C-alpha cells in the first residue's frame, strides 16, 4: 500500500499524543470553507443507486453458500451433529463442524484476542454449532433445516428474578464496577427530600438493517481475505486470526460499506469463523449471511438492567446524595457489564456518591455494547429519577438540574474540558416552548388524548483512541485518504474528505477516501463515538505534514502559505498544488490519547425535549415532537451530525416505548427473534425531530476539537419521553418499555 512512499522514500509520519491542549487548529484557519458545512455525503450517489457494495455482495469465482446451524436448546454438551439427511440434499457439498475452532460467543469490541471458542459446550439457545455448505443458498438452507443436534442437556440459568440474588462484582471493564465518595446512607437519612426508586430495562438488540455477513476467501499465499460487516477492522483481524490460529498478518478484512452497526459489529460474530473454516476445508470461497433470526439469537444483546437510584436533596433542591446501583447480566465467563452508571459519575454535583454494578450470570446470549453502552439505559433511570425529585420539590426540572451543576468533575476533582449542559437546556427550553408546559401532571386533556411535555439531560463521555491514516497527494493534485476506519452510516467518508479538503485547500471532489480495508493504516474503528475525533485527527495530522512539504516545495513557511481551490498562495505568488507535488507526496498521521484524558473530564452534553399524547382509552403513546440541543465540540458536518442525533433520539423512542427482547424462562431463547416481533420504531412512530447544535471547540479532546456525537443523541432521549408521559397522565412507569398495558390501569378517568 505504501508504494508511493517506499518508492520515493518520502513518506514521513506525524504523530501526536494528546498530552497537552491543542488550542490552534488548522480547521479554524482553512480558507476552503468546507468544514462544518452541511454537505451531502460523498458516497451518497452510490448508496441511493444501489451501487455501494456491502459484505455479502462481492462476486467470487466458484462461490459456495453457507447456512449456519444453531443449537436448539439452552445449555448442554453436544454428542453429535447428525447430518446424513443434510448431506443427501442435492447441491449440498459438506456439513462442517469444528468444535474447538467455532466461536461460542461473539467477541467484544476492541479486544485483540480470540473470543470464547468451543461449541461442543452450548451456553445459550441459538449458539452456532455447524455450517452447511452448498452450491446454492437454497440447497444450503434446506440442508441446514435437516441437521439434528444431539446433545446431553445441562441445567441453565434462564430467569433473571431467580438469580438476581447471586449477583457478583465483575472485574473492571469500561469503568470500575464500584466507586464511592462520602456516606450515601447517612446523607439520605438526613436529606429533606429523597427519591428511592428502581427502574428496569429489558434486553435489547441493535437490529442493524444489514445482518452480519462474511465472504471468506483464502488466497494462494495462505492469506484470508474476508469481506465482512465489521466496525473495527484492525482489532477484528486480530480476533479472527487468533480464532483461526493463523498469523495476524494473514487475515485481511474488508468492510467498505457496513449496513449499520450500533455496537453489534464491533467484535467478530460466529459467521466469520464458520465461513473461514468452511472455506479452508473446501478450498473455495464461502459466503455466509446470518438470517435475521440468527442475528437475534447469536450475536450480541444489550443487557437487561435493574437500577436502583437514590437521590437526597435539601429543600432548595441541591443534591447531597446520589446512588446508582445496577444489576446487569451476562454469560458465565464474560465480564462485560452494562455500565449504566457511567454518566452518573459526573452528571450532577453531590458530596455523597455511590456508583455500583453487579453481574448476574445467565444463559442468555452474549451481552455487549449497543449504542451508548451505559448512558443509553442508565439515563433512562437517572433522568426519570431527577424528574421524580423535581416533582417532589415542586421545582421546574430544568431549574433542578441547574442547581446541581458541578463546577468540576465531582468525583475526580478535575476540570471539565467543556460543559454546556445548562446552555443546552436553556436553548432547548426556548426553542421548544417549555414555558407552555403544565407543571401539574394530567392537566391537559384534548378529546381522547392526554398531552404532556418532558425533558432530560444528555451526557456522554468522550474518548480518543489510537488511529492512523495515510494521505497522498497525486501528481494531478488530488488527495487520497486511506485508513481502515469504517463508515457505518456515521458519515466517516464525508467528514474525512472535508478535513483533508479544508487543510489541503482542495475542492471536495478532488479528495478520494478509501475506507474499511485492513491493508490500510489501522484506525480506531467505529465505536464509542470516537471515530470522528480519532480518525479525523489522524487525517488532520497527515495533512498538516503535507502542508509543510508543499510550503517547502514553494520555498516558504506553512504559516505564510494559503491553500485554496487547489492552489498554493504565498509571497504574492499562486501555484497549482500539482506543480509542488512532483511524483506525488505521501504522509502518515497518527493520533494517540495522552495526559489530557485524565487531566480533564471530557464529555459531550445535550438536552432532550419531548411532547407526547397518551390515549385515555387505550394507553397508546404517540410522540408528537422532539427536540435535542447538543454541544459536542466542533461539528464537522452539520448534515451528517444531525442525522446521527436523529438516529440516537429514535433509538430513545424505541427504548422508551417498544423495544424488548423476551427470553423464554424455560431455556433463555429469544422469543421475539425477528423484526415483526422486536419492535424498532418505524416511520409513523417518529415525528419530525428538531436538532440544534451549540457552537463549541474542545481543545483538550484532539487537534480538530470535535467530540463524539453518535451516541449522545440516545443518552436521555427515552427519559424525556417517559417524563412527558408522566406529565401527560400522572402515571410513572419504571419498567421500560412503557407499553399500553403498563399505563392503562393508572390512567386518570
Partner 1 sequence: MRFTINGQSHEAEVDIRTSLLDLAREHLGLTGSKKGCDHGQCGACTMLVNGRRINSCLTLAVMHQDDDIVTIEGLGTPEALHPLQAAFVRHDGYQCGYCTPGQICSAVGMLDEVAKGWPSHASADLDAVTLDDAEISERMSGNICRCAAYPNIVDAIREVAGERDEVAA
Q: Closer CB to ligand FES, residue 177 or residue 489?
A: 489
Give CA separation, 619 vs 341, 616, 677, in Å.
Answer: 31, 6, 20
Would you state the cell numbers that stand for residue 617, as one nine-digit string? 382509552
Q: Closer CB to ligand FES, residue 476 or residue 677?
A: 677
User: Which listed residue (260, 415, 477, 687) binds ligand FES by CB under 6 A?
Assistant: 260
User: Could you tell me if 706 and 698 are in contact, meaning their C-beta atoms sit under 8 angstroms apart?
Assistant: yes
Per DSSP, the three-state class of 416 is strand
Q: Is 682 in the site for partner 1 (CB under 8 A)?
A: yes
Residue nearest to ligand FES (CB): 209
Preceding peptide of 400 cis, ω within 30°: no
Contacts of partner 1 in 27-56 (CB under 8 A):
40-41, 43-54, 56
Rounded-to-integer distance, Cα 358 and Cα 377, Å: 15
Q: Is 489 in the site for ligand FES (CB under 6 A)?
A: yes
Q: Is 292 in the site for partner 1 (CB under 8 A)?
A: yes
Binding residue count for partner 1, defined by CB under 8 A:
64
Strand stretches in 261-304, DSSP E: 286-289, 301-302
Would you state the cell numbers that stand for residue 529, as one nine-digit string? 463515538
Q: Closer CB to partner 1, residue 675 or residue 740?
A: 675
> Shortest Cβ distance from residue 489 to ligand FES (Å)?
5
Question: What amino acid positions are annotated as catalytic residues?
Answer: 711
Q: Closer CB to partner 1, residue 205 or residue 303?
A: 205
User: Which listed residue (7, 48, 189, 209) binds ligand FES by CB under 6 A?
Assistant: 209
Task: Give the binding range for partner 1 (CB under 8 A) out of 153-161, 251-259, 454-462, 545-553.
Answer: 251-259
User: Could you tell me if 483 and 500 are in contact, meaning their C-beta atoms sit under 8 angstroms apart?
Assistant: no
Q: Is 204 in the site for partner 1 (CB under 8 A)?
A: no
Q: Is 498 in the site for partner 1 (CB under 8 A)?
A: no
Q: Which of 725, 30, 27, 157 lies closest to 441 in space, CA to CA? A: 725
Residue 60, C-beta contacts closer than 8 angstroms, at least 6 positions apart:
215, 217, 285, 287
> Shortest Cβ distance from residue 208 to ligand FES (Å)?
7
Q: Which of 521, 534, 531 lies closest to 484 in space, CA to CA? A: 521
Per DSSP, the three-state class of 264 is coil
Compose the 442-481 pattern: x for residues touching ligand FES by CB under 6 A, - for all others. Answer: ----------------------------------------
Q: Is 526 in the site for partner 1 (CB under 8 A)?
A: no
The bridge status of strand 64-70 relative to strand 128-134 is antiparallel
Would you state the cell numbers that stand for residue 236, as one nine-digit string? 477484528
Residue 640 contact among partner 1, ligand FES, none, beta carbon within 5 to 8 Å by kind: partner 1
Q: Closer CB to partner 1, residue 29 or residue 62?
A: 62
Residue 546, C-beta contacts closer than 8 angstroms, at least 6 positions apart:
471, 473, 504, 585, 587
Cβ-count burial 208-220 (b if 16+ within 10 Å, e if not): bebbbbbbbbbee
Q: Closer CB to ligand FES, residue 259 or residue 708?
A: 259
> Shortest Cβ distance from residue 419 to partner 1 (Å)?
27
N-terminal to C-terminal alpha carbon distance within the chain: 70
Q: Is 447 in the site for partner 1 (CB under 8 A)?
A: no
Task: Give the binding range for partner 1 (CB under 8 A) out of 130-138, 405-413, 503-511, 543-551.
Answer: 130-138
Rounded-to-integer distance, Cα 301 and Cα 160, Å: 15
Whether the CA torsion 666, 670, 676, 681 is positive or negative: it is positive
Would you state the cell numbers that stand for residue 260, as one nine-digit string? 449499520
Q: Closer CB to ligand FES, residue 260 or residue 566?
A: 260
The radius of gyration computed from the CA coordinates of the chain, to the nearest angstrom, equals 27
Residue 41 contact among partner 1, ligand FES, none, beta carbon within 5 to 8 Å by kind: partner 1
Contacts of partner 1 in 58-117 (CB under 8 A):
59
Enumerate binding residues for ligand FES (CB under 6 A): 209, 260, 489
Q: List residues binding partner 1 (CB under 8 A).
A: 40-41, 43-54, 56-57, 59, 136-138, 141-142, 206-211, 257-262, 289, 291-292, 488-491, 639-640, 642-644, 646-647, 649-651, 674-676, 680-689
Amino acid at each position: 500500500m505504501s508504494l508511493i512512499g517506499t518508492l520515493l522514500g518520502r513518506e514521513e509520519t506525524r504523530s501526536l499524543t494528546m498530552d497537552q491542549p491543542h488550542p490552534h487548529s488548522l480547521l479554524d484557519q482553512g480558507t476552503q470553507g468546507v468544514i462544518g458545512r452541511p454537505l451531502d455525503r460523498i458516497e451518497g450517489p452510490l448508496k441511493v443507486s444501489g451501487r455501494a457494495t456491502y459484505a455479502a455482495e462481492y462476486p467470487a469465482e466458484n462461490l459456495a453458500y453457507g447456512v449456519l446451524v444453531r443449537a436448539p436448546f439452552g445449555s448442554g454438551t453436544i454428542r453429535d451433529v447428525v447430518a446424513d439427511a443434510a448431506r443427501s440434499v442435492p447441491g449440498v457439498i459438506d456439513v462442517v463442524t469444528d468444535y474447538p475452532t467455532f466461536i461460542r460467543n461473539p467477541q467484544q469490541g476492541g479486544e485483540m484476542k480470540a473470543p470464547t471458542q468451543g461449541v461442543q459446550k452450548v451456553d445459550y439457545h441459538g449458539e452456532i454449532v455447524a455450517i452447511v455448505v452448498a452450491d446454492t443458498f437454497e440447497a444450503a438452507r434446506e440442508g441446514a433445516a435437516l441437521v439434528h443436534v444431539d446433545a446431553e442437556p445441562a441445567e441453565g440459568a434462564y430467569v433473571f428474578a431467580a438469580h438476581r440474588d447471586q449477583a457478583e462484582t465483575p472485574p473492571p471493564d469500561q469503568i470500575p464496577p464500584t466507586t464511592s465518595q462520602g456516606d450515601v446512607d447517612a446523607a439520605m437519612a438526613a436529606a429533606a427530600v429523597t427519591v428511592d426508586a428502581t427502574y428496569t430495562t429489558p434486553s435489547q438488540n441493535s437490529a442493524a438493517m444489514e445482518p452480519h455477513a462474511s465472504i471468506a476467501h483464502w488466497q494462494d499465499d495462505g492469506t484470508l481475505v474476508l469481506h465482512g460487516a465489521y466496525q473495527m477492522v484492525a482489532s477484528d483481524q486480530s480476533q479472527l486470526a487468533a480464532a483461526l490460529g493463523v498469523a495476524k498478518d494473514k487475515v485481511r478484512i474488508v468492510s467498505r460499506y457496513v449496513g449499520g452497526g450500533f455496537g453489534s459489529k464491533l467484535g467478530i460474530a460466529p459467521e466469520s469463523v464458520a465461513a473461514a473454516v468452511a472455506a479452508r476445508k473446501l478450498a473455495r470461497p464461502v459466503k455466509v449471511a446470518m438470517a435475521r433470526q440468527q442475528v437475534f439469537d447469536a450475536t450480541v444483546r444489550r443487557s437487561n438492567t435493574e437500577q436502583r437510584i437514590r437521590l437526597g436533596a435539601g429543600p432548595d433542591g441541591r443534591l447531597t446524595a446520589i446512588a446508582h446501583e445496577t444489576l446487569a447480566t451476562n454469560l458465565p465467563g464474560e465480564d462485560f457489564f452494562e455500565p449504566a452508571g457511567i454518566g452518573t459519575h459526573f452528571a450532577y454535583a453531590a458530596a455523597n456518591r455511590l456508583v455500583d454494578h453487579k453481574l448476574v450470570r445467565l444463559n442468555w446470549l452474549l451481552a455487549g455494547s449497543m449504542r451508548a453502552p451505559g448512558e443509553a439505559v442508565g439515563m433512562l433511570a437517572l433522568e426519570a429519577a431527577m424528574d421524580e425529585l423535581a416533582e417532589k420539590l415542586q421545582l421546574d426540572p430544568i431549574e433542578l438540574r441547574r442547581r446541581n451543576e458541578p463546577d468540576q468533575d465531582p468525583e475526580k476533582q478535575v476540570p471539565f474540558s467543556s460543559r454546556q449542559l445548562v446552555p443546552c437546556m436553556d436553548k432547548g427550553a426556548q426553542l421548544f416552548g417549555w414555558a407552555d408546559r403544565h407543571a401539574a401532571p394530567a392537566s391537559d386533556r384534548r378529546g381522547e388524548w392526554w398531552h404532556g411535555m418532558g425533558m432530560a439531560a444528555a451526557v456522554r463521555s468522550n474518548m480518543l483512541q489510537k488511529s492512523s491514516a495515510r494521505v497522498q497527494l497525486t501528481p494531478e493534485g488530488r488527495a487520497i485518504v486511506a485508513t481502515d476506519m469504517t463508515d457505518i452510516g456515521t458519515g466517516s467518508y464525508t467528514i474525512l474528505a472535508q478535513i483533508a479538503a479544508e487543510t489541503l485547500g482542495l475542492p471536495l471532489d478532488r479528495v478520494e477516501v478509501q475506507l474499511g480495508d485492513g491493508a490500510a493504516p489501522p484506525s480506531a474503528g467505529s465505536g464509542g463515538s470516537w471515530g470522528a475525533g480519532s480518525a479525523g485527527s489522524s487525517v488532520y495530522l497527515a495533512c498538516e505534514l503535507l502542508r509543510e512539504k508543499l510550503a517547502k516545495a514553494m520555498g516558504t513557511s506553512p504559516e505564510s502559505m494559503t491553500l485554496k481551490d487547489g492552489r498554493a498562495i504565498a509571497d504574492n505568488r499562486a501555484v497549482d498544488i500539482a506543480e509542488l507535488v512532483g511524483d506525488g507526496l505521501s504522509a502518515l498521521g497518527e493520533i494517540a490519547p495522552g495526559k489530557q484524558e485524565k487531566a480533564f473530564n471530557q464529555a459531550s452534553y445535550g438536552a432532550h425535549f419531548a411532547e407526547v399524547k397518551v390515549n385515555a382509552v387505550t394507553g397508546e403513546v404517540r410522540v408528537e415532537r422532539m427536540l435535542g440541543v447538543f454541544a459536542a465540540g466542533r461539528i464537522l458536518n452539520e448534515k451528517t451530525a444531525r442525522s446521527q442525533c436523529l438516529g440516537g433520539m429514535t433509538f430513545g423512542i424505541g427504548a422508551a416505548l417498544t423495544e424488548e427482547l423476551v427470553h423464554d424462562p424455560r431455556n433463555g431463547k429469544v422469543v421475539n427473534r425477528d423484526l415483526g416481533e422486536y419492535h424498532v420504531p418505524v416511520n409513523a412512530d417518529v415525528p419530525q425531530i428538531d436538532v440544534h447544535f451549540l457552537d463549541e471547540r474542545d481543545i483538550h479532546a484532539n487537534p480538530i476539537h470535535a467530540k463524539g456525537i453518535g451516541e449522545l443523541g440516545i443518552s436521555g432521549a427515552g427519559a424525556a419521553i417517559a417524563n412527558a408521559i408522566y406529565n401527560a397522565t400522572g402515571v410513572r412507569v419504571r419498567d421500560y418499555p412503557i407499553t399500553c398495558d403498563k399505563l392503562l390501569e393508572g390512567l386518570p378517568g
